[in-house]
Amino acid sequence: MTKKIVLLPGDGIGREIMGSAKAVLETVAEKFGHEFEFETHAIGGDAYDRLGEPLPEETVQACEGADAILLGAVGGHKWDSLPKHLRPEQGLLGIRKKLGLFANLRPIKGFKPLLHASPLKEEIVAGSDILIIRELTGGLYFGKPSERRDNGNVVVDTLYYERHEIERIVEQAFNSAMLRNKHLVSVDKANVLESSRMWREIVDEKSKDYPEVTVEHLLVDAVAMKLITEPKKFDCIVTENLFGDILSDEASVLTGSLGMLPSASLSDKVGLYEPVHGSAPDIAGKGIANPMGMILSAAMMLRYSFELKEEAEAIEQAVNATLEQGYHTADLQIKDGKKVGTEEVTQVIIDQLNVKITS
Provide the binding-site residues for ligand NAD, judged by CB under 6 A.
13, 73-76, 89, 92, 258-259, 274, 277-283, 289-290, 293, 329, 331
Catalytic residue among 4, 249, 351, 356: 249
d(CA 138, CA 141): 6
Identify the bridge partners of residue 70 per DSSP, sorted by sequence position. Answer: 7, 273
**Contact partner at residue 283 from Mn ion, ligand NAD, ligand IPM, none, CB < 5 to 8 Å by partner kind:** ligand NAD
Residue ranges of the alpha helices (H) in the chain?
13-32, 44-51, 57-64, 88-98, 122-125, 163-178, 194-207, 220-229, 241-251, 292-304, 309-324, 342-358
Asked if 351 is an active-site residue, the reply is no
Binder of residue 93, out of ligand NAD, Mn ion, ligand IPM, none (CB less than 5 to 8 A by kind): ligand IPM
Catalytic residue among 97, 109, 189, 232: 189
Partner from Mn ion, ligand IPM, ligand NAD, none binding residue 76, C-beta < 5-8 Å depending on class? ligand NAD
Residues numbered 250-309 forming contacts with ligand IPM, rule: CB under 6 A: 276, 278
**DSSP per-residue letters across 205-236:** HHHTT-TTSEEEEEEHHHHHHHHHHSGGG-SE
Catalytic residue among 46, 188, 245, 331: 245
Dihedral angle sign, alpha carbons of residues 77, 80, 86, 91: positive
Which residue in the set 16, 235, 245, 331 belongs to the binding site for Mn ion (CB under 5 A)? Answer: 245
CB of 175 to Mn ion, least distance (A): 24
| Residue 133 interacts with ligand IPM (CB under 6 A): yes or no | no
Residue among 80, 204, 221, 268 flagged as catalytic: 221
Name the binding residues for Mg(2+): 221, 245, 249
Plot region of 77 (φ>0 → left; ψ -120 to 50 → alpha; else → beta)? alpha
Sheet holding 2-10, edge to edge: 35-40, 2-10, 68-73, 271-273, 264-266, 103-109, 129-135, 236-239, 183-188, 214-219
Judged by beta carbon, residue 222 or residue 333, the one nearer ligand NAD is 333
Active site residues: 141, 189, 221, 245, 249
- Give the interface with ligand IPM as residue ranges (CB under 6 A): 75, 89, 92-93, 245, 276, 278
